[in-house]
Structure 1
Amino acid sequence: MDLTAVRTFVTAVDAEQFQEAAVALSITPQAVSKRIAALETDLGVRLFHRTARGARLTIDGQAFLPHARTLLRAEERAAASVRPGSRALRVDVIGRRLSVAGLLRGFHRAHPDVELDVVTLLDSDAAVAAILSGTIDATFRAVTMPGRRLPDGIESTPVLDEPLRLFTGPAHEFAPAPTVALGRLAGRRIWMPGNRPGTEWAAYYDALATEFGFTIDPIGPDFGIEHLLDTIADSATLATFVSEQTPLVWPAGHDLRLIPLRDPTPVYPHSLLWRADNQHPALIALRAHLVATRPTRPDGEIWTPAWARRSGPPR
C-alpha cells in the first residue's frame, strides 16, 4: 500500500478540505485528489463523497480511517527503530543482579534521556552473534575465552576489574577470618551450581581452580539466589564466590560472611563489546561514560586468567 497516499488521505480527513490538505502537504489540490483517487482504486472502494462544498467520508472511508492511522504510526516506529538518536540502545548485561547491571544503571542516572533496552543472554557466543547481527548494540563480557578470539569487526574495552570474595556461613572454618589468602583454598570445594559449562564465567572459575588447587563443584540444581543463601548459611563446609559489587541482602539470622581474598586477589575482568561500525550516539556516550568512571584496580597483587590479561591502556 502506498503510504504517501495513506498519509494524504489522513491529512485530508484532519484538514476537512482537500485545499487545506494541499497546504499542509505542500502540494497542489490536484495532487491531493490524484493520490486519494489512486488509493481508492487500490482499495476498490470510495473513501470520500465529493460535493461542491468539499468532501466527506463514506462508510468505507470511516472504516478505513483508524487502520490508516495505525499504518502511519507503524511507519514512524519502523523509521525510529533505525533513526540515529531515536532507537533505544540494546545492551546485554548477563544478569540483572550483577555488577555490570549496576554499571548500566550508573550510565542511566548520568544520561536519563537515553532510552535503554536491557536484555540478558546466556553466554558470550550468543552475545557476540547478537552484536554481529545487529540484534543488540553491546554486551558486558569477560574476553576472551581460551583458544578463542573476537571476530573481526568486534571492538572491546575493559570497564571493571571486580574483586571476588569468599562467601560462607557462620560455621565455616574461614568465617572468623578478616581475609583469606587464595592459596589456602587448595584442596577445598567451592560450590557454584550456576557454573554452566561453555560459558566465559565457567572458563574463568575453572582456570582459577586449576591454578590454586581447589575444586569447583557445579552439582545441584540452580534454584536462584535465595536457595543459595539458605544453603550456605546452614553449611559448615560449603563456600562460594561472590563478586564484590553484587548486591546481596539476607535475613539477619543467616549471619553470612563476605571475606576478601588476598595474595593474590582474584578479579573478574568485565569488558564492553560492540560492533566497530555501530555509530549509535547512545553507544558512543556509554563507552565514554564507562571509560571515564572506570574504577581503579584493587591494591596489591591480582589474578586473572592468562587469556583475559590485558596490556596497554583501554581502547
Structure 2
Amino acid sequence: MDLDLAAIRAFVAVVDDEQFGHAATALGISQQAVSKRIAKLETQVGAALLARGSGRTAPTDAGARLLPHARTMLAACAEAVAAVHARPRPLRVAVFAERIAPIELMRNYFALHPTADVELVLPNGALYRTEPATDSAAADFVCSTRDFLVDGRVDAAFARAHGGPRPLPGHISACPAYREPLHLLVGREHPLAHRSSATLDEIVPYTAWVPGAVVASEWADFYRELTAFSGIVVETGSHPDGFEKMVDRVATSASMVTFVGDGGRTPWHPHSRQLTITDPTPAYPWSLLWSTRNDHPALPPLIEYFAAGYTPDSPATYWVPDSDRVLFTRGVPSPMGVSA
C-alpha cells in the first residue's frame, strides 16, 4: 500500500495543532483540503484516525498507533531531500512531552545557540486519550524517547538512563542533564494544604496518584523504587483527558496527592497547592542519551553543552534511585548499556 505523504503530513499537523483549522493554517491550505486528505488516509488504512470533541481533535486508538510511524515517514522524507542537496538534516532530539523540564533545558540551549539546526521530536503526539485506557492499551500508544533513540528515529533523547523494560544497547552513552526536584501537588481541602513543605514520611499516609506510571517504563520504575525507599503507595489508574484534567482531579480531592516536576509547567488551578518535599527531596534524573555510532555534526556541541553544564553536588538532601546515583554524582558521560 502506497500512503499519500501529503495526507500523512495533514494527519500529523492536526494531531499537533489539535484543530483542523490550525493545521490548515500551518500547512497553507484550506480546512476542507485537510479534511479531504485525512479522509483519504483513513480510507487507505481502513480505520478512523481522529476523534473530535470538547473543542479539540485527538487521535483515536488507531491514530495513536499510526502517529509515531507517520512522524518517522516525514522525517525520512526530509532526510532524503537533504541527502540530495548534500546538506545534513537537522539533529533530531526526542523529548517525551510538552510542559516538562527537558523542553525548558532545550529552550536555554537554543537561546545560547540560535543557529543550531536542531528539531525536537515528541514521540507521543497524544499522551492522553479521550477515554480512560487500560494498562495494556496504554502500552500501545505511550512510547519512550529511549525507544526512538535505540530504533534510530532520533539522534539524542532526554530520559532516565536506567530502568525500563528493555536494557539499553552498549553503543548508547549518557550524561546527566538535570536532577529535577519533585514537588507535592494537593487540593486546598487536603490536610497538608496549609503547609509549605512536607517530608517523605509525612506523605506516606496519603496515596499518590501517578497515572503515567501505568506503563512499563523507566519512569514507572522510578516510582516503584521511590515506593520501596519511602513507603509511599503509588496508584496508577487510568489517564485522564489531558494534564489539566489530572490537576483538576487532584485539586478537588481531600485525600489524593501527586508529584510534579520543578522544571516543568504545571497547569494553574485555583484549588491546587504545591509543597516542597524534604528529608530527602525526590528528584527525577534526566539524562541526555545518544549513540556513540552517530556522527551527526550537530551532536557533539549538544553533548558538550549538557556535560559541561551539569555540576555534581552532595546527594545528601536528594534522593535518586541507586542505579542513577553514580552518573549524577560523577557528572561525566558514561556508557549505559550492555553489548548489543
Same fold (TM over 0.5): yes
1:210 counterpart letter in structure 2: A
Residue 260 of structure 1: aligned partner:
276
Contact 2:175 2:331 in 1 (8 A): no
1:271 counterpart letter in structure 2: S
Contact 1:138 1:274 in 2 (8 A): yes
Structure 1 residue 230 and structure 2 residue 248: aligned?
Answer: yes
2:280 counterpart letter in structure 1: P
1:121 shift after superposition: 2.8
Residue 24 of structure 1: aligned partner:
none
Structure 1 residue 161 and structure 2 residue 179: aligned?
Answer: yes
Q: How does 1:12-27 map to 2 (within 5 A)?
A: none
Check 1:147–1:92 CA distance in 2 against 1; reply closer, same or farther (3 A cut). closer
Structure 1 residue 80 and structure 2 residue 82: aligned?
Answer: yes
Higher deviation after alignment, 143-152 or 169-178: 143-152
1:137 shift after superposition: 0.2
Of 325, 328, 339 in structure 2, the residue corresponding to residue 309 of structure 1 is 325
Residue 99 of structure 2: aligned partner:
97
1:83 shift after superposition: 8.2
1:220 shift after superposition: 3.4
Contact 1:180 1:261 in 2 (8 A): yes
Counterpart CA distance in 1 for 2:223 and 2:262 is 15
1:163 shift after superposition: 0.5
1:96 shift after superposition: 1.7
Report Cα offsets for 1:153-211 as digits up to 9, x if no partner.
Answer: 11111111111000111111111112111112223200122223311111101111122
Structure 1 residue 270 and structure 2 residue 286: aligned?
Answer: yes
Q: How does 1:192-203 map to 2 (within 5 A)?
A: 192-203=210-221
Residue 57 of structure 1: aligned partner:
none
Of 114, 117, 120 in structure 1, the residue corresponding to residue 116 of structure 2 is 114
1:126 shift after superposition: 5.1
Report Cα offsets for 1:27-62 as digits up to 9, x if no partner.
Answer: xxxxxxxxxxxxxxxxxxxxxxxxxxxxxxxxxxxx
1:92 counterpart letter in structure 2: A
Contact 1:81 1:88 in 2 (8 A): no
Check 1:223–1:125 CA distance in 2 against 1; reply closer, same or farther (3 A cut). closer
Counterpart CA distance in 2 for 1:232 and 1:213 is 20
1:259 counterpart letter in structure 2: L
Check 1:247–1:137 CA distance in 2 against 1; reply closer, same or farther (3 A cut). same
1:87 shift after superposition: 1.3
1:130 shift after superposition: 3.2
Counterpart CA distance in 2 for 1:212 and 1:242 is 17
Q: CA RMSD in A?
A: 2.9
Check 1:189–1:132 CA distance in 2 against 1; reply closer, same or farther (3 A cut). closer
**Residue aligned with 2:157, SS:** strand
**Residue aligned with 1:195, SS:** helix
Q: How does 1:1-315 map to 2 (within 5 A)?
A: 78=80, 80-81=82-83, 86-121=88-123, 127-145=145-163, 149-251=167-269, 254-294=270-310, 300-311=316-327, 312-315=330-333
1:110 shift after superposition: 1.4
Structure number with greater Rg is: 1
TM norm structure 1: 0.68
1:137 counterpart letter in structure 2: D
Alignment: residue pair count: 240
Check 1:305–1:84 CA distance in 2 against 1; reply closer, same or farther (3 A cut). farther
Residue 56 of structure 2: aligned partner:
none
Counterpart CA distance in 1 for 2:313 and 2:267 is 25
Gaps of 5+ in 2: 1-76, 125-138, 334-340
Contact 2:200 2:280 in 1 (8 A): yes
